[in-house]
A and B are shown apart, each in its own frame.
Chain A
Amino acid sequence: MRYILRRLGFYLVAAWAAVTLNFFLPRLMPGDPATALFARFRGQLSPEAMEALRETFGLTEAPLVKQYLTYLGHILRGDMGISVAYFPSEVSGVIATGLLWTILIAGTAVVVSFAIGTTLGIIAASRRGGWLDNVLPSVLIFVGSFPYFWLAMVVLFIMGFTLRWFPLGHAYSDNLTPSLSLEFISSVLTHAFLPVATVVVATLGGWLLSMRNNMVSVLGSDYVNLARAKGLKPARVIMRYAARNALLPSVTGFGMALGYILGGSLLTEIVFSYPGQGYLLVQAVRNQDYPLMQGIFLMITLAVLGANLIIDVVYLWLDPRTREIGR
């Protein structure tokens, strides 16, 4: 438990760092931070509304510390200001609509890719040779060298525009309203397939290679040798004695790669006009909608921190040695 509490403490620090970064960024830029932050609101907002917005971001005449505390207070209450691109919606509301879609795409892709890539890595290391070990890793590394969004463009071009096997964009058919009907769910699945598949294909090679390399070192260890000497079945030696241990560094890597993959997944959303955070992000960039951009940044950071906490719990369960720490 001590371990989890310590990790939790660290994530709180990280979240605080992200919020603080958000607060200081506009103030570090040349000129009046409010000008930078609200440039696009000119003429759109009444002076009173403008005042309220300044208040949210703590952009008052008050001393910096007081501004900062005001800002923290608003963030803690979930108030991240008003979006320019989706004026006059609140940033928090705009983000909430897209968050689920992003988690659906990125979450599914990351889990599927990790599972398949890791399994392939185990097979590649245990077969020792064959095309799976010699050719497949290079092919997958090559595929993984393309920008995710570029793969998305090609996939969409072939499977969507040319072959017409999959829809061209959005999260579900325009003529449907969200419901728990079979029709709606299948529509969501067919719309999610290409974005997920793109990210899976792009990230597979990395997982395969890291698991294969971990396996090669673990297969040379004493405890795997002893398991072989025990005359256990090869499958048991590989899975229970080698893969189980080789998985540990991969799980750590999983946590660290999460943010990176999420970034790629956001760009993929743009190509598929998928209504997640990535799509919102591009709207925000185009409209210089700083409040929305910062809100998305915060939200994604929190999501990644949450996912990392889950990974820590999984790690705790996988490695009994972690449970002893701090006892």
Chain B
Amino acid sequence: MNEPILKIENLSVDYVTGETLVRAVDRVSLDVKPGEIVGLAGESGCGKTTLAKAILRILPPPAIITGGKIEYRGKNILEINEGELRKLRWQKISIVFQSAMNALNPVIRIGEQITDVILAHKSVSPDEAYDRASQLLEMVGIHPIHLNSYSHQLSGGMRQRVCIALALALEPDIVIMDEPTTALDVIVEREILNQIKDLQARLGFSVIYITHDLARLLQFSHRLAILYAAHIAEIAPAQELQENPLHPYTQKLMRAMPSLVPSEVKPETIPGTPPSLASPPPGCRFHPRCDRAIEICQREKPPLVEKATNHLVACHLAS
């Protein structure tokens, strides 16, 4: 049986704002199996990036993790000490940020930013680390001469490739990718996605892929989780989700995507805006925008239940 290597259970993350707390991730559960690409989709501000960074516990102030657990191979990341955390980071789980421009330090050469992570985790000589860094750059199609470059000397696409090479430096089990292609044009985006897929097939790592672009995810990932206002709305295998979306939000998202609807039908938009996380609506968070909302939706938060094999949905209508 394919046991998950990462199990997130009831994870909650809050931001401290003055006297109150704002919950950006609310009791979210999700697991990742070896070699699996898990997609995480949602509108901006729904908590996807927060979730991604919480896994590595690198959320800067004012964030705090307020509950749940994150188990990596049975070990709870929320309960280990700094030293263990440091060993787990990058070696087991690495991350690619949304903006490579901001993720690379502008005053440190690319080479040093790759070798230092190798030297920190592996007992190799600086020369060996440098050779490994060259290989990594070549692997993503960048000439090793750029080990001597600074990030501002590279193009946007090259920077993001550097970040991907960096993420794979220690051959981790899981790579978190937080909208790694948003800042890029369509052609470069396609190249990079193909590259990630190719590398994933070759090296066999798992991917948690985060984006607001549902169409991309449906092609790209094995399984998808739809996040709405800090809650999980639906989780299903990609094909299942495409053929049989159960949550009204997912359905609307599908109909809003130009690439998924036949060209003669105009893509719809979802009326209204996502709720503010500081004062979310009671009950189902989607009900103010849902045209099929019934009375119970305003009162009770729908539980996440398994409707079909591996297909979970949080909606009163589905149960």
A183 on the interface (CB 8 Å rule)? no
Complex contacts, A231 vs chain B, CB 8 Å:
85-91, 117, 120-121
Please state if A222 and B99 are interface contacts (CB–CB under 8 Å).
yes
A307, B82: Cα distance in complex, Å: 44
B residues in contact (CB < 8 Å) with A: 53, 56, 58, 60-61, 82, 85-91, 94-95, 97, 99, 102-108, 116-117, 120-121, 150, 152-153
Please state if B152 and A321 are interface contacts (CB–CB under 8 Å).
yes
Given A231-B87, A241-B108, A321-B152: A220 and B58 within 8 A (CB)? no
CB-nearest residue of chain B relative to A242?
Answer: B105
Please state if A221 and B102 are interface contacts (CB–CB under 8 Å).
yes
Residue of A229, A240, A248, A321 touching B58 (CB-CB under 8 A): A229
B319 to chain A, nearest CB (A): 39
A25 to chain B, nearest CB (A): 43
Complex contacts, B89 vs chain A, CB 8 Å:
228-231
- 5 chain-A/chain-B pairs, Cβ below 8 angstroms: A221-B102, A223-B102, A223-B105, A225-B97, A248-B107
Given A225-B53, A231-B91, A236-B116: A241 and B105 within 8 A (CB)? yes
CB-nearest residue of chain B relative to A318?
Answer: B107
B56 to chain A, nearest CB (A): 5
Please state if B107 and A244 are interface contacts (CB–CB under 8 Å).
yes
Residue of B103, B120, B153 touching A222 (CB-CB under 8 A): B103
Given A229-B89, A245-B107: A222 and B152 within 8 A (CB)? no
Please state if A233 and B58 are interface contacts (CB–CB under 8 Å).
no
A227 on the interface (CB 8 Å rule)? yes
Total number of residue pairs linking A and B with CB closer than 8 Å: 81
Q: Number of contact residues on A: which range applies?
A: 20 to 34
Please state if B61 and A226 are interface contacts (CB–CB under 8 Å).
no
Please state if B94 and A229 are interface contacts (CB–CB under 8 Å).
yes
Residue of A220, A227, A318 touching B105 (CB-CB under 8 A): A227
Residue of B103, B107, B150 touching A226 (CB-CB under 8 A): B103
A324 on the interface (CB 8 Å rule)? yes
CB-nearest residue of chain A relative to B87?
Answer: A231
Complex contacts, A229 vs chain B, CB 8 Å:
56, 58, 89-90, 94-95
CB-nearest residue of chain B relative to A244?
Answer: B107
B178 to chain A, nearest CB (A): 10
- Please report which residues of chain A, range 179-225, place their CB below 8 angstroms from some CB of chain B when the two chains form the complex: 219-223, 225
Residue of B95, B105, B150, B153 touching A245 (CB-CB under 8 A): B105
Complex contacts, B152 vs chain A, CB 8 Å:
320-321, 324
A139 on the interface (CB 8 Å rule)? no
A228-B89, A319-B107 known; 7 other A-B pairs, CB under 8 Å? A222-B103, A226-B97, A228-B58, A229-B58, A230-B89, A240-B116, A248-B107
Residue of B82, B104, B153 touching A223 (CB-CB under 8 A): B104
CB-nearest residue of chain A relative to B120?
Answer: A232
Complex contacts, A236 vs chain B, CB 8 Å:
116, 120
Complex contacts, A230 vs chain B, CB 8 Å:
89-90, 94, 116-117, 120
Complex contacts, B116 vs chain A, CB 8 Å:
230, 232, 236, 240
Please state if A320 and B150 are interface contacts (CB–CB under 8 Å).
yes
Please state if B107 and A320 are interface contacts (CB–CB under 8 Å).
yes
A236, B117: Cα distance in complex, Å: 11
Complex contacts, A241 vs chain B, CB 8 Å:
105, 108
Please state if B103 and A223 are interface contacts (CB–CB under 8 Å).
yes
B108 to chain A, nearest CB (A): 7
Please state if B117 and A222 are interface contacts (CB–CB under 8 Å).
no
Complex contacts, A222 vs chain B, CB 8 Å:
97, 99, 102-103
B173 to chain A, nearest CB (A): 14
Q: Which 7 A-B pairs have the closest CB atoms?
A: A231-B89, A222-B102, A223-B105, A231-B86, A220-B60, A230-B117, A320-B150
A225, B56: Cα distance in complex, Å: 10
Task: Scan A288-311; emit 1 where CB is below 8 A from any B CB, else 0.
Answer: 000000000000000000000000
Complex contacts, B97 vs chain A, CB 8 Å:
222, 225-226
Complex contacts, A321 vs chain B, CB 8 Å:
106-107, 150, 152
Complex contacts, B150 vs chain A, CB 8 Å:
320-321
B132 to chain A, nearest CB (A): 15
A318 to chain B, nearest CB (A): 7
Complex contacts, A248 vs chain B, CB 8 Å:
107
Please state if A226 and B108 are interface contacts (CB–CB under 8 Å).
no
Residue of A219, A223, A226, A244 touching B95 (CB-CB under 8 A): A226
Complex contacts, B90 vs chain A, CB 8 Å:
229-231
Complex contacts, A233 vs chain B, CB 8 Å:
86, 120
Complex contacts, A221 vs chain B, CB 8 Å:
102
A247, B307: Cα distance in complex, Å: 56
A70 to chain B, nearest CB (A): 49
A222, B153: Cα distance in complex, Å: 19
A282, B254: Cα distance in complex, Å: 80
Complex contacts, B103 vs chain A, CB 8 Å:
222-223, 226
A248, B108: Cα distance in complex, Å: 13
Most chain B CB inside 10 Å of its own CB: which residue of A223, A233, A245:
A223
Complex contacts, B86 vs chain A, CB 8 Å:
231-233
A227, B95: Cα distance in complex, Å: 11
B110 to chain A, nearest CB (A): 11
